[in-house]
Chains A and B, each alone.
Chain A
Amino acid sequence: MQIVNAPHALYAMAASLAVLLVATAIGHWLAKRNVSKDYSELNLRIRSWWWMVLMLFTVLSLGQTPAIVFFGFLSFLALKEFLSIVPIRLTDRRVIFWAYLAIPLQYYWVSQQWYGMFIIFIPVYVFLFLPIRMVLIGDTRGFIRSAGILHWAVMLMVFAISHIAYLLTLPVQNPAAGPFGPVLFLLFMTQLNDVSQYVWGKTFGKRKIIPNVSPNKTWGGFLGGVATITLVSAGCAPWLTPLTAQQGLLAGALIAVSGFFGDVVLSSVKRDLQIKDSGSLIPGHGGILDRLDSLIYSAPLFFHYVYYTAY
């Protein structure tokens, strides 16, 4: 039980459970006070948050290897969801089968802490291999489009998400935070950023940033979210990560800005396909991509920032 020896990680988990308790109470209070308005969507969302948080904490408390397997499984669900909504040719099925096989390998490199392989496996080897498999099948109509879709899918859903797992294996520099501190930090800040950009946007948002992609994203929401996360992470970073408070400021800004772009990049995909949700795995949220979108951008950027500054 690595987690018991890391008091700060435990405090962070307790704090997030407290936040959820408050959110649940507010949700029920709103529904009771204002019967005419429908809050079932909000309460469904909060209930799904409980499931996600409890699942994550259970997996983390089981130790490093189960946690790596868990993130590998998230990659699988994300890749499957992405490949299910994008258009593919019948002949791409066999290539996609190989793309799935990249997941266990990539997470194996993570578990072995083989950084060199972890960082080049998908951008070099998988990148070169998938078109080879396509050529051997020999369907050249739509070749470029399929190759592009597949590379993009594997980079976003496997390579980017596997950075969360690699954070778990970095040598512990902040003993009070333990091996899980940086991961908890990244996940909390990214999700808190989503929520706070939404709340700031609802309260102060007027001018839209990119109306063609996401009509709900406003400058007020974006700047409010970035400011909030920058400040909160300056406070939390020394507790949960090897970073100092000043470095935490930059880490917060990085997570907030990249989280925003992850969100709108995946929104563009859905808009292109003319769908609202990418799946229905998480009640009240949509598919798993609707929850992982920000993380796909913030995880690799935060990882490399920590890796560069502290290792």
Chain B
Amino acid sequence: MRLVKVLFFCLLVKPLVLLLLGLNLRGRERLPLSGPAIIAANHNSHLDALVLMSLFPLHLIHKIRPVAAADYFLSNRVLAWLARYCIGIIPIDRSGKAAKAQLFAACHAALDAGDIVILFPEGSRGEPEKFGPLKKGLFYLLEDRPQIPVIPVVMHGLGKALPRGEALLVPFNCDVMVGEMLAPSALCTASLMVDELTRQFKALMTQCLTRSQNFDSDEYL
């Protein structure tokens, strides 16, 4: 299982990110190299998780686990195999029916095993290159594990390369801006955490090279 994931990233994802996409990467040294840790990123494309994972060395790749919607990724057998074995997702139930303790059981298990968990606090990919409101799941996930570091990351450009609802990948450069670890004081209440994470996301967004600031109209990406 680990071998499948290493081969998938070594032969497919890393070359694809390097040649077809190309990254403007800032703050790489702030990425954690050992778990448990959480990377909280904005979400625009299926490529988000793959690009984030490609930043880690191959010998760590089996420790990097993105949290992903069970209703989507486990919906058919091919996708489920890819999600489980090649990417190693932590499936999460978005239906709202599961109890809180049950909801995060798999995430907690991963964190307790020392994994680096990738989480998208917007909850879904949303409109291409638009920043959606953050949800509070991350706070509840951390409620009894306050010492786990949370590193915010903002990506821009992948919503152009492969937006929601499109199957054709078009090459674009993409920005990956790694921010400062969230201060423990920001994790006291859910709304404080959402505010702090939103503030960091917005600050990181201004550093993006591929985000033109002079065409204000909503239609431009």
Q: A and B: partners?
A: yes
Q: Quick check: A81 and B173 within 8 Å, CB to CB?
A: yes
Interface size class of B (residues with CB under 8 A): 20 to 34
Instruction: Give a binary string over B194-219; 1 marks a CB under 8 Å from any A CB, 0 the rest.
Output: 00000000000000011011110101
Residues of A within 8 A of B22 (CB): 77, 80-81, 84, 279, 281
Residues of B within 8 A of A278 (CB): 209
Q: Quick check: A273 and B213 within 8 Å, CB to CB?
A: yes
Q: Quick check: A88 and B160 within 8 Å, CB to CB?
A: yes
Q: For the complex formed, measure the closest distance between the CB of B133 and the CB atoms of chain A, giving whole angstroms.
A: 21
Q: For the complex formed, measure the closest distance between the CB of B160 and the CB atoms of chain A, giving whole angstroms.
A: 7
Contacts A93-B160, A274-B213; A84 near B173 (Cβ below 8 A):
yes
Total contacting residues, chain A, CB less than 8 A = 29
Q: Is B157 an interface residue (CB 8 A)?
A: yes
Q: Quick check: A89 and B170 within 8 Å, CB to CB?
A: no
Kindly identify which residue among B171, B212, B214, B219 contacts A89, using a CB–CB cutoff of 8 Å.
B219
Q: Is A18 an interface residue (CB 8 A)?
A: no
Residues of A within 8 A of B24 (CB): 279-280
Q: Is A38 an interface residue (CB 8 A)?
A: no
> CA A88 – CA B161 in complex, angstroms?
12
**Docked complex: A25-82 residues within 8 A CB-CB of B:** 76-77, 80-81
Q: Quick check: A275 and B171 within 8 Å, CB to CB?
A: no
Instruction: Give a binary string over A274-311; 1 marks a CB under 8 Å from any B CB, 0 the rest.
Output: 11011111000001000000000000000000000000
Query: Looking across the interface, which residue of chain B has its beta carbon closest to that of A146?
Result: B220
Q: Is B91 an interface residue (CB 8 A)?
A: no
Q: Is B221 an interface residue (CB 8 A)?
A: yes
**Docked complex: B131-159 residues within 8 A CB-CB of A:** 157
Residues of B within 8 A of A90 (CB): 128, 160, 163, 219, 221
Q: Quick check: A88 and B220 within 8 Å, CB to CB?
A: yes
> CA A109 – CA B25 in complex, angstroms?
36
Q: Quick check: B213 and A93 within 8 Å, CB to CB?
A: no
Q: Quick check: A280 and B25 within 8 Å, CB to CB?
A: yes
> CA A277 – CA B213 in complex, angstroms?
14
Q: Quick check: B170 and A279 within 8 Å, CB to CB?
A: no
Q: For the complex formed, measure the closest distance between the CB of B119 and the CB atoms of chain A, giving whole angstroms.
A: 26
> CA A279 – CA B172 in complex, angstroms?
11
Q: Is B168 an interface residue (CB 8 A)?
A: yes
Q: For the complex formed, measure the closest distance between the CB of A133 and the CB atoms of chain B, giving whole angstroms.
A: 13
**Docked complex: B43-65 residues within 8 A CB-CB of A:** none
Residues of A within 8 A of B157 (CB): 84
Kindly identify which residue among B23, B170, B209, B220 contacts A275, using a CB–CB cutoff of 8 Å.
B209
> CA A87 – CA B209 in complex, angstroms?
12
Residues of B within 8 A of A207 (CB): none
Q: Quick check: B170 and A96 within 8 Å, CB to CB?
A: yes
Query: Looking across the interface, which residue of chain A has its beta carbon closest to that of B25?
Result: A280
Residues of A within 8 A of B128 (CB): 90
> CA A84 – CA B25 in complex, angstroms?
14
Residues of A within 8 A of B217 (CB): 142
Q: Quick check: B219 and A272 within 8 Å, CB to CB?
A: no
Q: Is A83 an interface residue (CB 8 A)?
A: yes
Residues of B within 8 A of A273 (CB): 212-214
Q: Is B29 an interface residue (CB 8 A)?
A: no
Residues of B within 8 A of A206 (CB): none
Residues of B within 8 A of A280 (CB): 23-26, 209
Q: Quick check: B170 and A87 within 8 Å, CB to CB?
A: no
Q: Quick check: A85 and B160 within 8 Å, CB to CB?
A: no
Q: Quick check: A89 and B172 within 8 Å, CB to CB?
A: no
Q: For the complex formed, measure the closest distance between the CB of A282 and the CB atoms of chain B, giving whole angstroms.
A: 12
Q: Quick check: A85 and B168 within 8 Å, CB to CB?
A: no
**Docked complex: A81-125 residues within 8 A CB-CB of B:** 81, 83-90, 93-94, 96-97, 100
Residues of A within 8 A of B171 (CB): 76, 80, 100
Residues of A within 8 A of B168 (CB): 93-94, 97
Query: Looking across the interface, which residue of chain B has its beta carbon closest to that of A83?
Result: B172
Q: Quick check: B209 and A277 within 8 Å, CB to CB?
A: yes
Q: Quick check: B166 and A84 within 8 Å, CB to CB?
A: no
> CA A81 – CA B23 in complex, angstroms?
10
> CA A167 – CA B195 in complex, angstroms?
57
Q: Quick check: B219 and A85 within 8 Å, CB to CB?
A: no
Kindly identify which residue among B23, B166, B210, B220 contacts A85, using a CB–CB cutoff of 8 Å.
B210
Q: Quick check: B212 and A86 within 8 Å, CB to CB?
A: yes
Contacts A80-B171, A100-B171; A85 near B209 (Cβ below 8 A):
yes
Query: Looking across the interface, which residue of chain B has its beta carbon closest to that of A89?
Result: B219
> CA A85 – CA B174 in complex, angstroms?
10
**Could you name 18 residue pairs across A and B whose Cβ atoms are closer than 8 Å?**
A81-B22, A84-B174, A84-B209, A85-B173, A87-B212, A87-B215, A87-B221, A88-B220, A93-B160, A93-B168, A142-B217, A273-B213, A274-B212, A279-B24, A280-B25, A280-B26, A280-B209, A281-B22
For the complex with contacts A142-B219, A275-B212, 15 further pairs of A-B residues with Cβ separation under 8 Å are A80-B171, A84-B22, A84-B157, A84-B174, A84-B209, A85-B210, A87-B221, A88-B220, A89-B219, A90-B160, A90-B163, A100-B170, A273-B213, A274-B213, A281-B22
